[in-house]
Amino acid sequence: MATYGIEEEVFVTEPERPTLKSLYYLARLLWKNPRRNYFYTASNFARGQDIKQGLMSGIEIATDAHSDVESLMADFVSRRRELIEVVDGLIVPLGHLINYSAATNTCALQLHIGDVEDMPRVYRNLAHFLPILVLLTINAPYSGGRYFGQSFRMASSYAIGPLKEDWRARFQDIIFARRLRTIEVRVFDPVWDLNRVRILVEAIDRIVNFDGDLGLDIEQYNRWRGRIVREGYLDELDDLYIELSSIYNVPKDLLLRTPANEVRDFYEKNGLVKTYSALDNAYRSGVFESRPIPEIEVDSIKAALGFAGYYIPKLPYILWKFWKES
């Protein structure tokens, strides 16, 4: 049977920007369950010129591998609950922060599919439907405070991109991950809505278990991709949507009104901090409404404790992963 795992990256803002205090939250998470969280959490940082806008990027949690949707989602909910318990800042599930313009400072929702007998065929089938599936979570509508479209991250991030003939090439929307020997779908943005994540996972499960070979037109995928990042759902996708509906029925209203649309509407009316507060509240409670937040202060002592208690212990594993994935 196929197995599935989820990696989720989110920003933690204090309250407008991430700080190195995120490492303190990861340290708290690590030492609650060192055996597990040493391998199933991660810290990310901006690179190059983007560091001028802020060094700290998102933090990552991950599930175990599961052979059914119910156990995977139960694990995912537990991982979120653990994170919520240790974070005092605002948890912001966006592919790219509203007030940044930094292609190396992004967050993702990544799915791994393993133990598949005919992996090239499953890869082609998943990539075939990605133009529809990505609309379930597309969620990075701003760059530098200006409206971009549906996903600045999809358009600009160094870590993903248009498909290539070589499925092992690392920085594209869906790849064969050499270290884990899984199909890794890298293109999705993080989203607060657990219902959307569940529908996405259920759809992927049905596609993985579909017997046919749908083929993959890479040039067509890349053409659509270039427009979806700006426009969202395209009329040209109607036939693909009907084709997917014969395998799994994704509610079309979730594709037409995306998370990016919801964030845009809220931000234009309420501004930055209230939007980040609403995203945090939605992640914690499922309610996309801002709430009063206590004054958050940058704490250099906790940042130092996080560096000593999380990043230094994790460094050998970070270097090993980099070596294996290079």
Asked whether residue 324 carries a pLDDT value surpassing 80, the answer given is: no
Minimum mean pLDDT range among 47-56, 183-192, 217-226, 287-296:
287-296
For residue 120, which of 54, 204, 190, 213 has the smallest C-alpha distance? 213
Mean pLDDT computed over 273-298: 92
The CATH number of whichever domain residue 46 belongs to comes to 3.30.590.20
| Residue 222 banded pLDDT, cuts 50, 70, 90 | very high
Q: pLDDT of 62-100, one tens digit each?
A: 999 999 999 999 999 999 999 999 999 999 999 999 999
| Residue 294 banded pLDDT, cuts 50, 70, 90 | confident
Strand partners, 150: none
Residue 154 makes CB contacts below 8 A (sequence gap 6+) with 95, 134, 138, 140, 160, 173, 187, 189, 225, 228, 229
Mean pLDDT computed over 143-172: 96
Strand partners, 176: 183
Is the Cα torsion angle 148, 189, 245, 256 positive or negative in sign? negative
Q: How many domains does the chain have?
A: 1
Residues recorded for the chain: 326
Mean pLDDT computed over 130-156: 98
Asked whether residue 326 carries a pLDDT value surpassing 70, the answer given is: no
What CA–CA distance (Å, rounded) separates 162 from 306?
Answer: 36
**Domain of residue 21, residue span:** 3-325
Q: What is the pTM of this model?
A: 0.96
What value does the mean pLDDT of the chain take? 96
Cα torsion 160, 1, 195, 193 to 10°: value is -30
Mean pLDDT computed over 9-25: 97
Q: Are 197 and 188 in contact (CB under 8 A)?
A: no
| Residue 314 banded pLDDT, cuts 50, 70, 90 | very high
For residue 10, which of 154, 117, 110 has the smallest C-alpha distance? 110
